[in-house]
Structure 1
Amino acid sequence: MGATSSRLEKALAEYPESERYFGLENFGNTCYANSVLQSLYFCQPFRRAVLEYAQNSMSKSADENMLTCLADLFVQIHSQKKRTGVIAPKRFVQRLKKDNELFRSYMHQDAHEFLNYLLNECSELLEKEAKARKAAESPPAAENNADSASQAELQQQRQQETNNSAESNGGVVAVAPKQAPPPTWIHDLFQGTLVSETRCLACNTVTTREEAFYDLSLDIEQNCSLTACLQNFSATEALDGDDKFFCDACKGLQDAQKRMKIKALPHVLCLHLKRFKYIEQQDRMRKLNYRVVFPFELKLRNTSDDCKGADDFYDLFAVVVHVGQGPNHGHYVSFIKSSEHWLLLDDELVDVVNESHVQQAFGTTQEYNSTAEHGYILLYERR
């Protein structure tokens, strides 16, 4: 620990004076939360948004929830006088266990499930707050009802125009996504849009559907690359046999081809490598100890033709790593990039590492290696 501390103190001379590097205490298998929280803290736009939220909500007597506890933790780290040390995220962990029974036990939990829950919970809380503010600022009921009626009429008219257009647009049917509430800063940072294109092989009609995502879950193979995983994600899939597609133009089930592409790029790209797979014959989950090479600079190739900024690059700034052989035991740590330097954050431990250490998280070609580090969640920021 002494050597590690000395290494970090020497390295701090090259780091911004305002930056803080604090380990997080483990409260009994809470490494899954610590690794994700560290990755999000070093996501600079996310941290700025959380700290701004904390500042704006300080004067309000808001009820405690996951977002207020997250903001409290970020403020606690950011406002430390010392540059390094250890902080106990006790309030946050207590709130997490209170709000979600999945995380109440002391068993090994999944970092990806935690990340999904945290982002969705925070966005829902922000939506509720925005709705409450809008209700408080809304005009008298009579005016409101008149506006609502005119809006509904306009929406119905637009829907009819869309339907008429779909019938005469040369065999392309666009299925509009459901109307969503106004976006929050969680959406602004993490949300992207996928578009699935399904081509009927009988009449050649293409049906498109859009869906939002906070992260992409990618299938992996032994000794592959992240680029190959993304290509496979958008590979053409045959819909035939029992999986035939119901074509609205043909009014029946038909053979079809389907593919998924990215239509709108998120500012922060979260990629989840599907390392845990259910083996039916063994009736259990097992970990895929595959070597997956991920780049430190990424350009997405599986974008749609109308995707804005398709040539933009992403830079890797955090890797959540699973250490161990199985899904029900093991350990999570994170590598984060700060001011062009890489750090290892392992619960209370904060250590300086070089890029080659991060590359060890690619994994190994050996089928069994209980101590191997495997990249599990990759976080990239768009330039």
Structure 2
Amino acid sequence: MLTVSVKWQKELFPKVEIDTSQPPYLFKCQLYDLTGVPPERQKIMVKGGLLKDDADWAKVGVKEGQKLMMMGTADEVVKAPEKGPVFAEDMPEEELVVTVGHSAGLVNLGNTCYMNSTIQCLHFVPELKSALTKYLPSVRSNEIDLSTHQLTVATRELFNELDKNVKPVAPMRFLTELRKKYPQFAQVQNGLYMQQDAEECWTQLLYSLSLSLKSTSSSEGADAVKRLFGIDLVSRVHCAESGEESAESESVYSLKCHISHEVNHLHEGLKHGLKSELEKASPSLGRSAVYTKDSRINDLPRYLTVQFVRFFWKRETNQKAKILRKVDYPLELDVHDFCSDDLRKILEVPRRVLRDEEGKKLGLKTSGSSSTSTNKDIKMTDAEEQLNVGEESSKSALEQGTTLEKEHHLTGIYDLVAVLTHKGRSADSGHYVAWVKQENGKWIQFDDDNPIPQREEDIIRLSGGGDWHMAYICMYKARCVSL
């Protein structure tokens, strides 16, 4: 670690720390925070010429207390759009960002697109931001370790920075805390940080947030991650050879879409993902036997995450490979067919109410306006009784999270709100990008520090089959009704 001073225009920044174990690009990102000059515009004078992003600090020869000269132009301060009929194509890019309504991009700190795309997807979950807001930096429960606490605080601060800024944000503290908590994200090859798996980053971050937010005293923050993203599964494990059968239950943060030559659509991939074979010891046979595991969803979250299992370990080459096969996915996903019988009973009334509401919008007759309304009302009452039975057998759907609020009930129908894609044929390289739907219904592609407006028809074309971006993670938001 070295401490230097940096002269830029008329300003002098004393005591700027250089972590010599990390590439100079990270040092440039520090200067970006101080000066507003993007790393690509910075020219830093060192012995022998200009400082390169991937230079070796030992060969650069910077010494303790040395004064460095930096040249470069900072980003201009963004002004609010003027009133009047200004067309979007005539607006400066950053004013367009404000008008469209999305937040800033994230600076790539050296193969960190996997992290940036994960953050951009999760940042657009308002309930998660609300829970993080209530998690104060000075509060840490004895139930969680310091690294988990610091990563949670860094996530909170980064979300706030994205909300406040228009120009790209350099997520330096978040990256530092992520690598402290999970050292695998700090792997280096040939002096550069390696590309990592976005799904692994997504899962590890949610796990850490689930621990810290669950430990808060706030009722809204308690178990927020489980309530927002957790999926409860019940499974029937059966051995055809011995006739043994058992039941299992587990909680996961995503459903898996397994890809084979038979899978052309997400629905088919999810069906494959909920069935599996495993080999384990059979008490009655006294040896190992093959069991089939058939799982069903027993509790749904507010945000349903689906991972396309595109990466696998190829034994012939002893390396990770990628499945490029095209798998279509819908803008609207109905998971009713994958639910347990108990959950289907709970969903019955909300789904009927949703159909009526959507029917009214289309000008269709609903159960309440038909000539047989009496019979319909009776059926509704029966269904409500089934709902009550289902809630009791599940220890109350309200308490477990099937409904997030007393007035809002899940229907099992979800709308696509974010897609995280991977571009390239190699599993250990390539590029990750986030495509996120805004509150105003418009889609934005977040390619690191470059947010680009997109059309909805472009989103469903990210299904794979070539070298273009293909969906790796899809996040769906629940469609709810009031009862």
The Cα of 1:278 is off from its aligned counterpart by 1.0
Q: What is the aligned counterpart of 1:345 among 446, 462, 483? A: 446
Alpha-carbon separation, structure 2, partners of 1:272 and 1:4: 39
Q: What is the aligned counterpart of 1:216 among 255, 264, 277? A: 255
Q: What is the aligned counterpart of 1:294 among 326, 329, 354? A: 329
Higher relative contact order (CA 8 A, sep 6+): 1
Specify the alignment match of 1:246 in structure 2. Answer: 282
Deviation sequence 1:89-145 (CA, Å, 0-9, x none): 111111112222111131000000101110111222234555xx9xxxxxxxxxxxx
Specify the alignment match of 1:79 in structure 2. Answer: 164
Structure 1: runs of 5 or more not aligned: 134-181
Specify the alignment match of 1:259 in structure 2. Answer: 294
Alpha-carbon separation, structure 1, partners of 2:156 and 2:273: 35
Specify the alignment match of 1:320 in structure 2. Answer: 420
Specify the alignment match of 2:265 in structure 1. Answer: 225
Q: Please state whether the residue corresponding to 1:340 is helix, strand or coil.
A: coil
Q: What is the aligned counterpart of 2:202 among 97, 100, 115? A: 115
The Cα of 1:4 is off from its aligned counterpart by 11
1:25 to 1:247, Cα distance in 2 relative to 1, 3 A: same
- 1:22 matched to 2:124? The reply is no
Deviation sequence 1:47-99 (CA, Å, 0-9, x none): 2222333xxx156589661000000111122234xxx3211111111111222
Amino acid paired to 1:320: L
1:65 to 1:204, Cα distance in 2 relative to 1, 3 A: same
1:282 to 1:253, Cα distance in 2 relative to 1, 3 A: closer
Identity level (%) = 28
Alpha-carbon separation, structure 2, partners of 1:4 and 1:190: 40
Retained in 2: the 8 A contact 1:200–1:247? no
1:314 to 1:214, Cα distance in 2 relative to 1, 3 A: same
Number of residue-to-residue matches in the alignment: 312
Alpha-carbon separation, structure 2, partners of 1:99 and 1:318: 26
Q: Please state whether the residue corresponding to 1:50 is helix, strand or coil.
A: helix
Retained in 2: the 8 A contact 1:201–1:254? no
Specify the alignment match of 2:153 in structure 1. Answer: 68
Alpha-carbon separation, structure 1, partners of 2:158 and 2:286: 55
Specify the alignment match of 2:230 in structure 1. Answer: 191
Alpha-carbon separation, structure 2, partners of 1:21 and 1:357: 20
Alpha-carbon separation, structure 1, partners of 2:306 and 2:452: 24
1:211 to 1:31, Cα distance in 2 relative to 1, 3 A: same
The Cα of 1:5 is off from its aligned counterpart by 7.1
Amino acid paired to 2:196: Q
Alpha-carbon separation, structure 1, partners of 2:322 and 2:90: 31
Q: What is the aligned counterpart of 1:306 among 342, 353, 361? A: 342
The TM-score with structure 2 as length reference comes to 0.59
Amino acid paired to 2:309: K
The Cα of 1:288 is off from its aligned counterpart by 0.9
Alpha-carbon separation, structure 2, partners of 1:217 and 1:45: 24
Q: Please state whether the residue corresponding to 2:282 is helix, strand or coil.
A: strand
Retained in 2: the 8 A contact 1:268–1:380? yes
Retained in 2: the 8 A contact 1:49–1:185? yes
Alpha-carbon separation, structure 2, partners of 1:257 and 1:362: 30
1:281 to 1:72, Cα distance in 2 relative to 1, 3 A: same
Retained in 2: the 8 A contact 1:77–1:87? yes
Specify the alignment match of 1:234 in structure 2. Answer: 274
The Cα of 1:293 is off from its aligned counterpart by 0.6
Specify the alignment match of 2:307 in structure 1. Answer: 272
Q: Please state whether the residue corresponding to 2:341 is helix, strand or coil.
A: coil
The Cα of 1:375 is off from its aligned counterpart by 0.5
1:234 to 1:285, Cα distance in 2 relative to 1, 3 A: same
Specify the alignment match of 1:155 in structure 2. Answer: none
Amino acid paired to 1:228: E
Deviation sequence 1:181-224 (CA, Å, 0-9, x none): x9611111111111110245478664211001111232113561
Specify the alignment match of 1:162 in structure 2. Answer: none
Alpha-carbon separation, structure 2, partners of 1:61 and 1:4: 49
Instruction: Report the structure number with the largest CA radius of gyration.
Output: 2
Deviation sequence 1:249-273 (CA, Å, 0-9, x none): x998777543111111122111111
Alpha-carbon separation, structure 1, partners of 2:197 and 2:469: 16
Alpha-carbon separation, structure 1, partners of 2:445 and 2:225: 26
Specify the alignment match of 1:354 in structure 2. Answer: 455
Specify the alignment match of 1:333 in structure 2. Answer: 433
Alpha-carbon separation, structure 2, partners of 1:107 and 1:346: 18
Amino acid paired to 1:221: S
Retained in 1: the 8 A contact 2:434–2:445? yes
Alpha-carbon separation, structure 2, partners of 1:11 and 1:85: 9
Retained in 2: the 8 A contact 1:323–1:373? yes
Alpha-carbon separation, structure 2, partners of 1:202 and 1:324: 44
Specify the alignment match of 2:475 in structure 1. Answer: 379
1:282 to 1:340, Cα distance in 2 relative to 1, 3 A: same
1:52 to 1:281, Cα distance in 2 relative to 1, 3 A: same
1:297 to 1:6, Cα distance in 2 relative to 1, 3 A: farther
Amino acid paired to 1:353: Q
Retained in 2: the 8 A contact 1:334–1:344? yes
Alpha-carbon separation, structure 2, partners of 1:283 and 1:4: 52
Amino acid paired to 1:51: T
Structure 2: runs of 5 or more not aligned: 1-87, 188-192, 349-410
Alpha-carbon separation, structure 2, partners of 1:4 and 1:278: 49
- 1:285 matched to 2:317? The reply is no
Q: Please state whether the residue corresponding to 2:477 is helix, strand or coil.
A: strand
